[in-house]
Amino acid sequence: MSWSPIDTWICIIAILCAAACALPGCILVLRRMSLMGDAISHTVLPGIAIAFLVTGSREPTAMLIGAVIIGLLTAFLVQAIETIGRIETGAAIGIVFTVLFAIGLVLMRQAVDHVDIDPDCVLYGAVEFAYFDQVTIGSLSIPRAAIVNGVALLTNAAIILIFYKEFKITSFDPALARTQGILPNKMHYLLMTMTAATAVAAFETVGSILVIAMLIVPAATAYLLTDKYGAMFVLAIFIAIIAAIGGHISAVIIPPIFGFSGTSTAGAMAVVVGFLFLLAWLFSPKQGIAATAIRRIRVQQDIIRENILGLLWRLEDRRQEKNSVSFENVLRSSRRSINVALRQLQKLGCVYYDNARWQLTESGREQASLIIRSHRLWETYLDKHFPQDTHQLHQSAERLEHITTPQMQSRLGDAEIDPHGSEVPPSIDS
């Protein structure tokens, strides 16, 4: 498989299309309205079919107007069924878009003699053939799809820059927006218009259903990677670009390895962007599954270390010379995590191994006594303010001792004997 100028143009068209979709997609995801994007991209079909039937040609302006009108109608009907008909949003969306899509299919089938539009194109788009439909501007000959999607991208960027603040406020706090004199409903319909127009532009390139992938997935991926409103747009565009290039490359390069000639670029774009989402889902630095798991393990290890210190301190306190207890049974943790924790403590100079048992060093004893102090002060405090039986008291204190800061400790009082009758170790200063 060799790379040709056609492939370059396909990539450019795909990039423009994906980036144009990603912009309104960000707002859709933030407003939890992704499925309106889904509905509108489906209802582009009846819009285009009606425009075909009315004008009898593939006039782009007519197509655009038809699709935008039906897109707005979709948004309006969903709102009406939801509020007047008292049906939840999801179901309202499902009813409206399936019925309109069915109308589109029937119309297309009826009009099959008059116009050349074929259901496969609705699904796949025709980015592979977009290169051959060229327009000449001055001395340049450019594929029409590149211009269409480029214009869509620029328009969307302009709208979002102009209404940057308005979209932000209406997305996060519609009530505040109203008090500022911004009508949330107006922004809603502006967004719907933008989505419908973008979907028409992208329709011929990636097909009606994959428009959803380009609208939602880059935005959702960006949302997992950042907490900033502005950064989300930039990231989403960046992800869309990677998906477009990666999509085309994998569509023409991977299948030949297995003996196939190639696959649909639009489909591959959806798969690649899905793969990027998966990566973000797993490895996002703050919110990814991996990061969360690591954080959880760290906290667990912190707690096990503190528990070991506390246990050793208690053993020492009771003067049980024979260290016969097994850590696993008392601490209810696995042997492996206890061994890791002990090694960490040894490295920190808190414990040492001697006489076939683990013992506290001086600094270890100091830390341990602080933990025990927290524990026993909590027991005293809870006993005083929330009387409960002693076992529960111990359980609650067991949890609280790990999250007690020195300031908190100083405010828990200075009892000397806890409710079980044990002595509270003194704080370090005294």
Contact residues for other proteins (CB under 8 A)? 29, 32-35, 37-38, 42, 81, 84-88, 90-91, 93-95, 98-99, 101-103, 105-106, 109-110, 112, 119-120, 123-124, 207, 209-210, 212-213, 215-217, 219-220, 223-224, 251, 255, 258, 260-264, 266-271, 273-274, 277, 281, 287, 289, 292
Whole-number minimum distance, CB 156 to other proteins, in Å? Answer: 18
3-state class (DSSP) for residue 131: helix
Whole-number minimum distance, CB 231 to other proteins, in Å? Answer: 15
Q: Which CB atom, from 238 or from 359, has the smaller least distance to other proteins?
A: 238
Whole-number minimum distance, CB 189 to other proteins, in Å? Answer: 19
Select from 57, 46, 62 the least CA-distant residue to 107.
46
- Take residue 34 and report the two structure tokens written for it: 């992704």
Q: Which CB atom, from 273 or from 342, has the smaller least distance to other proteins?
A: 273
Whole-number minimum distance, CB 139 to other proteins, in Å? Answer: 37
Q: Which CB atom, from 81 or from 197, has the smaller least distance to other proteins?
A: 81
CA dist., res. 348 & res. 183, Å (int): 60
3-state class (DSSP) for residue 31: coil
Do 108 and 51 contact (CB within 8 A), yes or no?
Answer: no
Whole-number minimum distance, CB 163 to other proteins, in Å? Answer: 22
CA dist., res. 419 & res. 409, Å (int): 17
73, 126, 194 from 41: Cα distances, Å: 13, 16, 11
CA dist., res. 374 & res. 128, Å (int): 69
Q: Which CB atom, from 168 or from 402, has the smaller least distance to other proteins?
A: 168
Whole-number minimum distance, CB 85 to other proteins, in Å? Answer: 5
Whole-number minimum distance, CB 271 to other proteins, in Å? Answer: 5
CA dist., res. 196 & res. 38, Å (int): 10
> Cβ contacts of residue 405 below 8 Å, gap of 6+?
none
Q: Which CB atom, from 268 or from 331, has the smaller least distance to other proteins?
A: 268
Q: Which CB atom, from 200 or from 251, has the smaller least distance to other proteins?
A: 251
Q: Which CB atom, from 22 or from 213, has the smaller least distance to other proteins?
A: 213
Do 221 and 233 contact (CB within 8 A), yes or no?
Answer: no
List b or e across 302-320, with b for residues whose CB sees 16 or more CB atoms inside 10 angstroms: ebbbbbbbbbbbbbeeeee
Select from 157, 356, 136, 337 the least CA-distant residue to 237.
157
Whole-number minimum distance, CB 288 to other proteins, in Å? Answer: 9
Q: Which CB atom, from 53 or from 87, has the smaller least distance to other proteins?
A: 87
* DSSP assignment of 34-61: HHHHHHHHHHHHHHHHHHHHHHSS--HH
Q: How far is CA 300 from the centre of its chain?
A: 26
